């Protein structure tokens, strides 16, 4: 679901307040799943995110959203951590992971050499041209972000089994 003006306005209003609590706003979205609408706020912090952190942000947002809701329809507020496997939606997200050695998976709108999913590490990101360089097992690929349906980090959970 595309961001409405109300959601964009709310994002501008609440981001400084959340940052004032010491958190980074990773993403804000308004999505429909089945018959339910969700106003989702993903937060991050160098110290990690706990349930208490999510509650703190939710408590901050409740009165603001009561006064200025993202829609007149009924919706649910969800505040969560961006997670260890997180979607890289904004240029600043991609820039943060460029050169980090973190493995990512890119889902493409159209196949490239017969593949709709690519794995590798983001070597660099050219924000001006909106192109990322992906180091893969078969070499470096330059991929315009407009070709990417989804970019997400990958985490090896095998270390914890």
pLDDT in tens, 72-105: 999 999 999 999 999 999 999 999 999 999 999 9
- Tokens 């070499």 belong to 139
Averaged pLDDT, 121-144: 95
Model pLDDT, residue 1: 46
Model pLDDT, residue 161: 55
Percentage of the chain lying above the pLDDT 90 cut? 86
Question: Which comes out higher in pLDDT, residue 6 or 59?
Answer: 59
Q: Running DSSP on this structure, what letter comes out for residue 4?
A: P
pLDDT in tens, 109-129: 999 989 999 999 999 999 999
For residue 49, give the nearest of 97, 98, 86 by alpha carbon: 86
pTM over 0.85: no
Q: Is the pLDDT of residue 3 over 80?
A: no
- CA pair distance 89, 40, nearest whole angstrom: 14
């Amino acid at each position: 679901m595309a961001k409405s003006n109300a959601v964009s306005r709310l994002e501008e209003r609440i981001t400084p307040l959340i940052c004032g609590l010491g958190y980074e706003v990773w993403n804000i979205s308004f999505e429909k799943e089945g018959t339910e609408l969700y106003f989702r706020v993903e937060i991050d912090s160098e110290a990690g995110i706990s349930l208490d952190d999510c509650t703190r942000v939710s408590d901050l947002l409740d009165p603001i959203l009561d006064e200025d809701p993202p829609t007149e329809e009924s919706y649910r507020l969800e505040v969560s951590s961006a997670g260890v496997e997180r979607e890289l939606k904004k240029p600043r997200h991609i820039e943060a992971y460029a050169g980090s050695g973190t493995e990512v998976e890119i889902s493409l709108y159209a196949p490239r050499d017969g593949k709709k999913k690519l794995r590798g590490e983001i070597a660099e990101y050219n924000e001006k041209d909106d192109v990322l360089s992906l180091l893969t097992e078969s070499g470096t690929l330059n991929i315009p972000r407009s070709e990417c349906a989804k970019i997400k980090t990958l985490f090896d959970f095998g270390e914890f089994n």
